[in-house]
Amino acid sequence: MTSPHRAGQVAVIGRPNVGKSTLVNALVGAKVSIVSNRPQTTRHRLLGIATVPGGQLLLVDTPGIHREQGRQSSTAMHRMMNRAARGALEGVDAALLVVEAGRWDEEDSLAHDALREAGVPVVLVVNQVDRIRDKAALLPYLQQASAGRAFAAVHPVSALKRKGLEDLVASLLALLPEQPAPYGEDEITDKSQRFLAGELLREQLMRQLGNELPYATTVEIESFTEDTSGRSDMLLRIGAVIWVERDGQKAIVIGKGGSRLREIASKARLQMERLFDCKVFLETWVRVRAGWSDDEAALRTLGYDQ
């Protein structure tokens, strides 16, 4: 007898920078969620669809659940991010609590508590085990992390090196209801190409500017058109605006003689061509809008309303 097909929504929760986006991308097998080594990269609730033997996981990649403290976290953006993380727990069948191997701090406890309150079964994912040289040190950590906490399963993994993911998927599937796959096998996300294009540009901004990137930078895709007029294959024409808060920030993003923006746009274009499997013509502009990060109405127009 073959085992039943299972499918359901799985929230991916954890403090910023533990590797949630990397894990979603590894499970989906494609790049749907952007990755950078700067905390709080993920601002949107994002569904990655992982079709696996015997089932389909609908992964909700959420911003970390943060402690509300300090100046920055009181801004509208942080309030919205927290709401998005909590909202992500509604209607999910299971949750992955992602933590960094060897580390458990207050934010991890907060994320765990939020999940317990929501009453969803939780699988603990101890990520980044590739960074632990002495594997014997992992055992006491796993024991401590699970002591007094009711996890459905505990899995040490490396999202980056794709280790331990098969066992993790097996544990997750067991928690999901028996039902046919809601999405087709070749679907990897419910987001539009337009949205993904914006995310890929935002990823390059973060990668290439690092700590120099103004926190309140965002990307808006102004135009997105398929051009089939040429003789060769389809061309995507994409126009993107990079919003910053001050003229000085604009200068940082553009760089000397425009060199920085050229490099950012060129890398983003290559990523888009890889994901969309066609030629991309990308135009970018940097514009200044003062004080937008603390203005919920402005955030909504830029799509931060989930």
Q: How many CB atoms lie within 10 A of CB 231?
A: 4
DSSP secondary structure code for residue 158 in this structure: B
Q: With H, G, I as helix, E, B as strand and everything else as coil, classify residue 259.
A: helix
Comparison of 41 and 208: residue with beta carbon closer to ligand GTP: 41
Comparison of 6 and 202: residue with beta carbon closer to ligand GTP: 202
| Smallest distance from ligand GTP to CB 6, Å | 25
The amino acid occupying position 39 is: P
Residue matched to tokens 């009711």: 150
> DSSP letter string over 206-219?
HHHHGGGS-TT-EE
167 binds ligand GTP (CB under 6 A): no
Give 172's Cβ-side CA count (13 Å radius): 32
Q: Which of 255, 253, 261 is nearest to 283 (CA)?
A: 261
239 beta partners = 223, 283
Q: Is 55 annotated as a binding residue?
A: no
Q: Is 184 annotated as a binding residue?
A: no
Q: With H, G, I as helix, E, B as strand and everything else as coil, classify residue 56.
A: strand
DSSP secondary structure code for residue 119 in this structure: T
Q: Which stretch binds ligand GTP (CB under 6 A): 74-82, 155-163, 213-221, 227-235?
A: 155-163
Q: What is the 3-state secondary structure (H, E, C) of 19-39?
A: CHHHHHHHHHCCCCCCCCCCC
Contact 210, 278 (CB under 8 A): no
Contact 12, 23 (CB under 8 A): yes
- CA-CA distance, 59 to 49, in Å (whole number)? 6
210 binds ligand GTP (CB under 6 A): no
Candidate list 27, 28, 35, 94; residue touching ligand GTP; CB under 6 A? 35
Q: Is 61 annotated as a binding residue?
A: yes
Q: Which stretch binds ligand GTP (CB under 6 A): 89-97, 140-148, 154-162, 232-240?
A: 154-162
208 binds ligand GTP (CB under 6 A): no
Give 171's Cβ-side CA count (13 Å radius): 19
Site string for ligand GTP, 57-86 (x = CB under 6 A): ------xx----------------------
| Smallest distance from ligand GTP to CB 127, Å | 5
159 binds ligand GTP (CB under 6 A): yes
Candidate list 9, 56, 82, 158; residue touching ligand GTP; CB under 6 A? 158
Site string for ligand GTP, 94-133 (x = CB under 6 A): ---------------------------------xx-xx--
Q: Is 20 annotated as a binding residue?
A: yes
Measured from each CB, the residue nearest to ligand GTP is: 19
Total residues interacting with ligand GTP, rule: CB under 6 A: 24
Candidate list 17, 73, 146, 306; residue touching ligand GTP; CB under 6 A? 17
What are the φ and ψ backbone dihedral angles of 119, each rounded to 5 degrees?
Answer: 75, 20
160 binds ligand GTP (CB under 6 A): yes
18 binds ligand GTP (CB under 6 A): yes
Q: In what order do the strands lie in the sheet with 235-244?
A: 218-227, 235-244, 279-288
10 binds ligand GTP (CB under 6 A): no
What are the φ and ψ backbone dihedral angles of 52, each rounded to 5 degrees?
Answer: -125, 165
Q: Which residues are annotated as a binding site?
A: 14-21, 61-65
Kindly list the residues in this chain that would bind ligand GTP in the complex (CB under 6 A): 14, 16-22, 35-37, 39-42, 63-64, 127-128, 130-131, 158-160
